Structure 1
Amino acid sequence: MKLNQVLSIVNQVEKSKFISCLDRMCTDAAKNNKKLAKTIENIDGQIKNASGSEITQLFSTVREFFKDSLKEQIMMSSAQLNLLINILSRDGNCVARISWIEALYAKEWKELTKLSNELQNSIKEGSDGSLFERNRALKIYHACMKEAYFNDEKSNRDAKVTDDERSILNVLAEELSLTTDESAAIEHLVDVIPQNGVLDALNGLRDMGLLFISRKRQEVFIPDEIVTLLNEIQGKYLADKYILRVLRTLTDAELSNILKAHGRKIRGVSRIDKIYTIIHSGIRAAKLLSDDMHNVDDNQNHRKDRLKQLINDLEIDVDKLGTTLDERISLILTSLSSATDKEFDSLSASGFKQLLKTLEEHFPSMIEVLKGAFELEPNETVDTEKLRALSITPHDILYLLSNDEIRDVRDAIGLAKRGNPRLAILESFANATDKLIENYDALARRDINALKEVGADVIESEIGIKFEEVTKAIFEILELNIDEDLRKSLNTAKDKADIIISLSDNDIIIGEAKTCKNGDFAKYSTTSRQVKAYVARAENQGKRVAQVLIIAPSFSDDFIESAEMDTEVNISLLEAHGLKLILDSFKSKRNPKFSPKLLTKGGLLKAELIAKNL
């Protein structure tokens, strides 16, 4: 969830710690940054009065200052805070209930303690036998960790690992080929992490400006921007979900090479266990790509050629392939780490829902697989809105399935067997939405026969929902901000608005999508009661409803007149064929720009005129 979205959910008290930290950063940075000083001046010099978008802009401006401050505080923090940060920065944990974070912490603590005991036994065994090098490496790192932690006591200071010592230990761990989880487990032997006190630790992280805690919801929110910072601080430049994609494309032999490079068992280990052992070990992506996956005697040219093939397998679109091994590694890491927004854009909201539904039909355990992979709470309701909030894309979901399972899905829905099966599946659902957009007027008029003729497979009972979803998809193409989080917070069991378009932090447009089978849409009294209830709820939550927009195939004269004469709310009407006309005009322009203010004119909107002036 983006920072701007989190700020729109939490209240002023819950924002206070983050704003205080940001204020301090801005004050320090503004002394030597005239541009930032002017930005602060433009909001009256008071960050506490800034809007969510202004706070997000300020954060972006002082991002590196914020990162340095966080890094310094984390380095000086307890091992417990570091363990908690590791949990919170993992895929799927950016929005979670406090009780679930406590459960994840207890599980992680138990697994870390188990690994610590195993490594302690290896250290005690000494450096004899077939595991000579591995046991020797563990013993060296353990000795250095003890020295780094306890040497402060010689000077009558509290025992701790300083920033400089941490940097040296990180280099040592890398040179000894120790994984992240092994390093953490050895530190746990030296500086035992408390088993309890998670809530106090969360409050400590909140004081650092790292997360938000909603007391009412009993939830923790960590914005995507902060997660990215934490990953960078930890030297983790690729999230686990992207590591999974890379590993899915590797051969069994290459997976074994990675495990062998870190002294892990390979004999009798299944492919899926190899993959998840590698992910949980926390091996750095760059090292995995440059060294671990290759045979020891592979030269640079062979490794470069293998990465070229990997880039093709991952369907990474590049202008230049890069001539060196490091350039190709950087290309892979950069492309994957910045893929989220592009991947969400590849499917409309409707297409995403249909994809998830289809996967559940073929794999009834799909939701359980999702929950397990992204550490979601067992009783959590998982839908595409929740997945978007957690930044889990359609691509992420498809890579949870094995290569054999994904080929089964491809075959079951009748797709060609050539090319990347995951991308073929995504394209098929994108095409399904495109068909509905192209036949938007027929969908609005509930013309099931016309839809069947063009191959748009829609059930009669689902046409209303599909029309709503396709309308959202069109608005997304027009680059309007469809705010699903706000819609979810405004809706009740009785009152459920179809579409919320955010114009700013507080200004919104409420949209209603209405289908009509025969004739013009004429139910004004019913519709007006609906939208007025939505407006009242929105205003009670501090939102200003700039306009109510009703989309239908066409409107009766009485409906148009009643809407124009209504003094309680501002209503605009837009016919379905008119919205399609605007979309076609938008897509035909080289640099189109559609302003949502064009939807706030009131009365029956002149789509032809809007389309002409885009």
Structure 2
Amino acid sequence: MKLEKILDKLGSIEKNSFIKIIDHIISKNPKNSKEIDKILSSSDKGLKSVDNQNVSNIFSLISSEFTEHLKSEFQEANSQLDILIDIIIRDGNCLMKQDWFSRLYEIEIKNLKVKTKNLISELEKEKSELSDTRKRDYRIYKACLSTAYTNDITNNRDAKITSDELSIILTLSKQLGLSQEEIKLINYSILPIKKADILDVINNLKNLGVVFYSKKENTILVADEMVRLLRKVREKEVAEKFYRRTLKLLREPIINQIAKEHNIERKLTHSQKIEQIIKVGISFTDLLTNEIYKEGTNLTEKKKTLNELCEKGLNIPNLKGSTLEDKIKSLITHFETIEKDEKVGISIDGFDKMLSELNVSIPTLNKELKEQFELQDEFVLSADYLLDYNIKPRDILDLITKPNLSKFVKDNGIKQRGDDILNILDHYKDVENLYLENYANVGYRNLNLLKENGITVKESELGLKFEELTKVIFKGLGFHVDDKFKSQLNTKKDIMDILLNLGNDEIIIVECKTIKEKGYNKFSTVSRQLKSYQNLALKNNLRIVKILLIAPEFSDDFVYDCEMDTEMNLSLLTASTLSKIFETFKDSKYQEFPHVLFRDIVINEERIIKALSK
């Protein structure tokens, strides 16, 4: 769930710890202080009175400082922050009831104790599953960590690993090629593991600004933006779902090779080994730099293998970068972009239909999803529910075994030639709804983002498509989009885009503008155009209730010129605002949108949404 949406759900007391930390970071003059000051200048009472959207914007501007704030907490040897972060950054754990979180925490502590005991035993045995090289690596790291931890006790101080010691130990772990799980097990073979009271745990995480806690709903909430930041703190470069997607493309001998290197049980099935590789926290960069290749593979062959993996397996042609390192960075950036994008690749209706038909074809899927993503509700196959956890259609299809995917394709008459997953996504695309979900992207003429979201369209068609989608939205708002009457009024010279017929000779004129550059700023041109439409309507004895100009955004100069215009009853409406109004209207009590709400120069989204929600 996005940070802004979480903040909208909570009261001021529940947000207080998070706001305090941001306020403290702002007081230390962060690198983006000028941009932050611009946001805060509109508020007399500081950060507490800033709207939730701008709080979210400020958080993105201070993310690097917030990361440093969290890293400093890792110096507390007994903070258990590594354990707790590893729980809350797992796919599906961004919303949890207190008792569910308590259960996951208990399981994690219990498993850690067992694994730590086994590791100590393996290190002490003369003959063990571990290779001599791996034993040596573990012993070196353990000895250095032990010195860093115990030297304070020797000097009669509280045991604490300083930032200098921590940076050296992290460098050492990287050079030894240790996974996050291996590091954690060695750490807790030295540090005592104690199960803390769950309310203390939640309170500590809340005071760090990592989670929000709703006492009313007894629920822990972690924002999507925070999950991404916490992953960076734990040096996990991609979400588990993207790691899994990549591993599933590798041949079984390669998976076995990685499992052997990181002390993963040989008896596990192929799928179980993949899940364990994800869980042990091998760096994604290290995986693609070293782990997926046979010994002795040269750099040219590595680049070729990675290109094939991306092109044939992940459907990413022409991966950017000339070096192996650059290519891996490009792939990580690609996954980050997909994760941040709110669009789901198919329409919400299509997602729900897909889930419903998957449930019929694969009755065990609901249980499998619950277990995989550690979801606590009984029935989880709902698009809105899964999207709150940032789980998208492709993430679900990635979990389904090949035989079950093939069965589902046959059961539902889906194209069988080519890639099953891509064919399924294409089958449930629901083009009109998908276009509506990308309405603002059409307005911005953003071909690349439209393509990533599953829409193929020519640039020359975008202006007309924006107009068509605007008509669909106004029809959905209950207006009479009167194309016949518009055709009677239009001349060869004056051709208005949309006419809303209110009856009794009253109309609303709607003009649609797409833009490629930021900020629509051609007021003089568009005002001449709109005034000619106005004159045309007045000649036909029509009363113009409102003229609406719709574009992705408007420049400050454009808004100022509009405010100075005294000849037209003109309002400016951004595409994203119209889209949000439409979504709110669907759940409102109104059969027809009350057009009197279109009364601002720049239509106020928040005010209209509040009015519709009453």
TM-score (norm 2): 0.71
**Cα gap change, 1:269 to 1:574, in 2 (>3 Å):** farther
Query: Is the 1:127–1:133 contact (alpha carbons within 8 Å) kept by the matching residues of 2?
Result: no
| 1:428-507 mapped onto 2 (5 Å cutoff) | 428-430=427-429, 433-434=430-431, 437=432, 475-479=436-440
Give how far 1:323 is off. 2.3
1:242–1:337 Cα contact (<8 Å) kept: no
Alpha carbons of structure 1 residues 151 and 125: separation in structure 2 relative to 1, 3 Å:
same
Aligned position for 2:458: none
Are residues 9 and 552 of structure 1, via their aligned partners in 2, closer, same or farther at CA, if it must alter by over 3 Å? farther
Unaligned runs of 5+ in 2: 442-471, 483-499, 504-508, 518-550, 553-573, 583-592, 599-614
Indicate how the Cα distance of structure 1 residues 291 and 319 shifts in structure 2: closer, same or farther if over 3 A, else same: closer
CA contact (8 A) 1:29 1:36 kept: no
State the match for 2:287 in structure 1: 288
Match of 1:247? 247
Q: Which residue does the alignment assign to 1:567?
A: none
**Equivalent position of 1:26 in the other structure:** 26
Alignment of 1:590-609 (within 5 A): 593=552, 594-595=574-575, 596=577, 602=595
- Contact 1:123–1:136, Cα closer than 8 Å, also in 2: no
CA contact (8 A) 1:75 1:163 kept: yes
Structure 1, residues 468-502: CA drift from partner, whole Å, max 9, x if none?
Answer: xx5xx66433349xxxxxxxxxxxxxxxxxxxxxx
Shift in Å, 1:331: 1.8
For the residue of structure 1 that corresponds to 2:220, the secondary structure is strand
Q: How far did 1:374 drift?
A: 0.8
Cα deviation for residue 344 of structure 1 reads: 3.0
Distance in 1 (alpha carbons) for counterparts of 2:28 and 2:363:
54
Aligned partner letter, 1:364? P
**Contact persistence 1:211–1:221 (CA under 8 A):** yes
- 3-state DSSP class of the match of 2:415? coil
Mapped to 2, the partners of 1:107 and 1:31 lie a distance apart of 41
Deviations 1:383-417 (A, max 9, x none): 21111111111111111112333233223333333
Query: Structure 1: where are the runs of 5+ without partners?
Result: 438-469, 481-510, 516-548, 555-571, 576-580, 606-614
Matches within 5 A, 1:145-160: 145-160=145-160
Query: Map of 1:149-548 to 2, 5 A cutoff?
Result: 149-266=149-266, 268-318=267-317, 320-342=319-341, 344-377=343-376, 379=378, 381-430=380-429, 433-434=430-431, 437=432, 475-479=436-440
The CA distance in 1 between the partners of 2:22 and 2:342, in whole Å, is: 31
SS in 1 for 2:29: helix
Match of 1:546 in 2: none
Secondary structure of residue in 2 paired with 1:344: coil
On the 8 A contact 2:244/2:274 being kept in 1, the answer is: yes
- Tell me, in whole angstroms, the C-alpha distance in 2 between the residues paired with 1:587 and 1:384: 32
Question: What letter matches 1:413 in structure 2?
Answer: N
Identify the residue that residue 38 of structure 1 maps to in structure 2. Answer: 38
Aligned-partner residue type, residue 595 of structure 2: G
Deviations 1:311-356 (A, max 9, x none): 1134344555432211221122111122125473421110110111
Q: Give how far 1:283 is off.
A: 0.9
Aligned CA RMSD, in angstroms, stands at: 3.3
In the alignment, what sits opposite 1:609? none
Deviation digits for residues 59-88 of structure 1, max 9, x if unmatched?
A: 122222222112212333634232112101
Structure 1 residues 77 and 215: CA distance shift in structure 2, 3 A: farther
- Cα 1:198–1:167, aligned 2, differ >3 Å: closer, same or farther? farther
Counterparts of 1:278 and 1:306 in 2: how far apart (Å)? Answer: 20
Aligned to 1:138: 138
Where does residue 442 of structure 1 map in the other structure? none
One-letter code of the match for 2:199? Answer: L
Measure, in 2, the Cα distance between the counterparts of 1:329 and 1:224: 23
- Give CA deviations for 1:193-217 in whole Å, capped at 9, x if unaligned: 2123122021111111111100000
Structure 1's 71 and 120: CA in aligned 2 closer, same or farther, altered over 3 A?
same
Change (3 A) 1:552 1:351: farther
User: Aligned partners of 1:34, 1:343: CA distance in 2, in Å?
Assistant: 28
Contact 2:355 2:381 in 1 (8 A): no
Tell me the alpha carbon deviations over residues 143-174 of structure 1, each in whole angstroms, 9 at most, x when there is no partner.
Answer: 22222211111221111222222222233333
> Per the alignment, do residues 317 and 170 of structure 1 end up closer, same or farther by CA in structure 2, a change over 3 Å counting?
same
Identity %: 28
Q: 1:127 to 1:476 in 2, by over 3 A?
A: same
SS in structure 2 of the partner of residue 96 of structure 1 = strand
- Tell me how far apart the structure 2 counterparts of residues 371 and 203 of structure 1 sit (CA, whole Å): 27
Check the 8 A contact 2:77/2:191 in 1, yes or no: no
Q: 1:508-563: per-residue Cα shift (whole Å, max 9, x none)?
A: xxx99999xxxxxxxxxxxxxxxxxxxxxxxxxxxxxxxxx447999xxxxxxxxx
CA distance in 2, matches of 1:111, 1:31: 41
Q: Counterpart amino acid of 1:188?
A: Y
The letter for the 2-side match of 1:278 is I
The aligned counterpart of 2:111 is 111
Cα distance, 1:270–1:37 mapped onto 2, change above 3 Å: same
| Counterpart contact for 1:258–1:293, Cα < 8 Å | yes
Deviations 1:269-292 (A, max 9, x none): 421122112111111111111111
Are the aligned partners of 2:36 and 2:61 in contact in 1 as well (CA < 8 Å)?
yes
Change (3 A) 1:364 1:68: same
- Decide whether aligned partners of structure 1 residues 513 and 72 sit closer, same or farther in structure 2, where only a CA change above 3 A counts: same
SS in 2 for 1:213: strand
Contact kept, 8 Å, 1:29 with 1:62, in 2: the verdict is no
The 1:315–1:573 alpha-carbon spacing in structure 2 relative to 1, beyond 3 Å, is farther
Task: Report SS of the residue matched to 1:29.
Answer: coil
Match of 2:66 in 1: 66
Shift, 1:96, TM fit: 0.8
Tell me the CA shift for residue 123 of structure 1. 1.6
CA contact (8 A) 2:319 2:330 kept: no
SS of equivalent residue, structure 2 residue 177:
coil
Q: Deviations over 1:66-115 (max 9, x none)?
A: 22112212333634232112101111111111111100011111111111
| Corresponding letter in the other structure for 2:56 | T
Contact residue 115 and residue 185 of structure 1 kept, 8 A: yes
| Whole-angstrom CA distance in 2 between matches of 1:59 and 1:321 | 29
- Say if 2:122 and 2:129, in contact at 8 Å, map to a contact too: no
The letter for the 1-side match of 2:8 is S
Displacement of 1:587 after TM fit? 11
Cα shift at 1:132: 2.1
Task: Give how far 1:43 is off.
Answer: 1.5
1:175 Cα deviation (Å)? 3.1
AA at the equivalent of 1:204: N
2:89, 2:230 within 8 Å by CA — same for their partners in 1? Answer: yes
**Corresponding residue for 2:16?**
16
The correspondence of residues 88-127 of structure 1 with structure 2, limited to 5 A, is 88-126=88-126
Distance 1:378 1:120, change over 3 A: farther
Do the aligned partners of residues 237 and 573 (structure 1) sit closer, same or farther apart at CA in structure 2, a change above 3 Å counting? Answer: farther
Aligned length in residues:
479
- Cα separation, 1, equivalents of 2:81 and 2:255: 32
CA contact (8 A) 2:77 2:160 kept: no
AA of the residue aligned to 1:478: Y
